[in-house]
Amino acid sequence: MRLIGVPPNRWGIGGTPARAPSPSVTFGIREAAFSRPDADEIVARLVTGVTDAVVGVFGERVRAGLTVELVGTPDGRTGVGGVVVTA
């Protein structure tokens, strides 16, 4: 998971510098998860859980603008410790 925080006035919303932008979270997940019969439930639970966790840290003010992006990675396209990881 990658959480990106940007200092005030270094991010824009609607063409205007944002004084207190909400975080953006990119969450890597195996692409195969999106093909499962329960994929919609998995996505909903991850988005809700990550959102609630970030709001727990930064406060309710970030909820409305918080972005959670789930990025699918095909099997065999990730490496750990110099070794390609497969399912």
Span 8-48, pLDDT tens digits = 777 777 788 877 778 888 988 989 999 999 999 999 999 99
Query: Cα separation of 6 and 19, whole Å?
Result: 10
What pLDDT sits at residue 18? 76
Which residues are CB-contacts of 54 (< 8 A; sequence separation ≥ 6)? Answer: 3, 23, 25, 62, 66
Does domain 22-85 correspond to CATH entry 3.30.429.10? yes
Query: Cα separation of 12 and 30, whole Å?
Result: 31
Sorted by where each begins, the domain ranges of the chain are 22-85
